[in-house]
Amino acid sequence: MSERVLTIEVNGEPHRILSSDNRTLLEVLREDLGLTGTKHGCDVGECGACSVLMDGQPVLACLVLALQVGDRTVTTIEGLAADGNPDPVQKAFAERGAAQCGYCTPGMIISSRALLDGNPDPSTEEINTALAGNLCRCTGYNKIVEAVHLAASREARP
């Protein structure tokens, strides 16, 4: 398998990496950049644990080849906090106890962030739809939905 030098922007920083063509964005994030907040679950696009934002849209990093990223910007869970302050969705998850084992949590938060960026006041049904690709084995869905509503209500305040 051939290798090439790739430049990808992750969390606002450009990175140059040497990667074989068949490596996924998930592998590069975790193994080359040390961004292990993005979780390695099923590896086949079914669990949502590897969700990241690419140009603000949620994607499954296990299904994206690193060489496909190109000029698009990648945001991982580590990139959501601004100036050391957690994203409002992260805060709400903590306050509502929306993480149990926590394995699904980064992906849930990434998908929730993308939802609120496009729809600041989602209904419960819209939250469920947005998070349908993110599986939680701990069955903590009610608290997760509550947390998204809480984050939305806070962000809506002037």
Decide whether 70 or 102 has the Cβ nearer to ligand FES: 102
What is the smallest separation between the CB atom of 44 and ligand FES, expressed in angstroms? 7
- Calpha distance 138→53 (Å, rounded): 24
Tokens of 106: 């980064």
CA distances from 153 to 122, 157, 158 (A): 10, 7, 10
Judged by CB under 6 A, the stretch of 1-9, 35-43, 75-83, 112-120 that binds ligand FES is 35-43
Does residue 96 belong to the site contacting ligand FES (CB under 6 A)?
no
- Calpha distance 124→140 (Å, rounded): 15
Run of H or E residues at 111? helix 105-118
> Which residue among 7, 20, 22, 46 contacts ligand FES (CB under 6 A)?
46
What is the smallest separation between the CB atom of 52 and ligand FES, expressed in angstroms? 10
What is the smallest separation between the CB atom of 51 and ligand FES, expressed in angstroms? 7
In what order do the strands lie in the sheet containing 57-60?
13-20, 3-10, 73-75, 51-54, 57-60
Please give the angle made by the CA atoms of 99, 34 and 80, to the nearest 5 degrees.
50
Decide whether 103 or 113 has the Cβ nearer to ligand FES: 103
Q: CB of 111 within 8 A of CB of 130?
A: yes
Total residues binding ligand FES (CB under 6 A) = 23
Residues 54-83 vs ligand FES: string with x where CB under 6 A?
A: ------x-x---------------------
Decide whether 46 or 117 has the Cβ nearer to ligand FES: 46
> Which residue among 10, 131, 136, 145 contacts ligand FES (CB under 6 A)?
136
